[in-house]
Amino acid sequence: MNRIDFHAHILPGADHGSGSIDTSRRQLMLMRDAGVSAVVATPHFYPHRQRAESFLRMREQTVAELRQSLPEGAPLIYVGAEVLVCPGMHEMEGLDQLTVRGTNLLLLEMPTTAWNRALLDTVEEIREAGFHPVMAHIDRYPMEEVKKLLARGLSVQLNATAFSGLFGGKVYRQLIGTGSVVALGSDLHGSDPAGYQPFLKALKRLGGEANTVFERTAALLQGAIALQEEAPALLHT
Ligand SMILES: [Fe+2]
């Protein structure tokens, strides 16, 4: 069974997830050792701080650096972004470049402030524009708010830590049963092995339910272009 980590900050220097090639390599080795077959690299994109164009240029550079230093047996790496939603974002130039490369999947992060109508409408507009929004780590928000996303039939991603609480994330396990949960993620920052433990623990706790989610993720990722599969830049010149 494919184990897919859909949310991780592993591109060297792209955000605070990894400050160096060495850290990224160690992150990938942690994943490899955990039996992860594919990971989506999701550096933070903050629309109020940067333009998509400069973000993409920076991301390309980190991808090129990482491509040259991949550890033996590294999981397949898909390149995406974790995009903070702001009202009106559906009209932002370059949004289509922030999807998981080769797909229409867009990992959207909701703000921690209250979600007003304009924000929720923006998510819908993004979907209507042909994207498949995946709402990042919904376990981090009050369930009352999350229900607004679920009521609109949106796909969601859970962080592994959702299952480490006292009740083992019972409410989130029920959500897996409904089909809304399309991806699991470690949301890994840094290369401390302890940082990857929750992902492993979640897999153990979820058993077959995790496989159900991984099957959904794999289906959504069909056609995605892995970093390892991209032609070297030189061939294009
Ligand atoms: Fe994240």
Residue 237 falls inside a structural domain: no
Around ion ligand 1, residues with a beta carbon closer than 5 Å are 82, 187
Q: What is the CATH number of the domain that holds 169?
A: 3.20.20.140
- Residue 129 Cα to ligand 1 midpoint, Å, equals 24
Q: What is the pLDDT of residue 235?
A: 46
> Most distant CA pair in the chain: distance in Å?
56
Q: What is the model's pTM?
A: 0.95
Q: What is the pLDDT of residue 232?
A: 57
- Residue 8 Cα to ligand 1 midpoint, Å, equals 6
Range of the domain at 126: 4-225
Q: How many domains does the chain have?
A: 1
Mean pLDDT per 10-residue section of the chain, whose length is 237 residues: 94 96 98 97 96 96 96 97 97 97 97 93 97 97 95 97 85 94 98 96 95 97 91 50
Residue 230 falls inside a structural domain: no
Ordered alpha helix ranges (H), the chain: 21-33, 52-67, 117-128, 143-151, 170-178, 197-206, 208-221
- Residue 98 Cα to ligand 1 midpoint, Å, equals 14
By C-alpha distance, which of 140, 107, 133 is closest to 39? Answer: 107
Which residues share a beta bridge with 226? 78
- Residue 237 Cα to ligand 1 midpoint, Å, equals 34
Token pair, residue 120, equals 């929720």
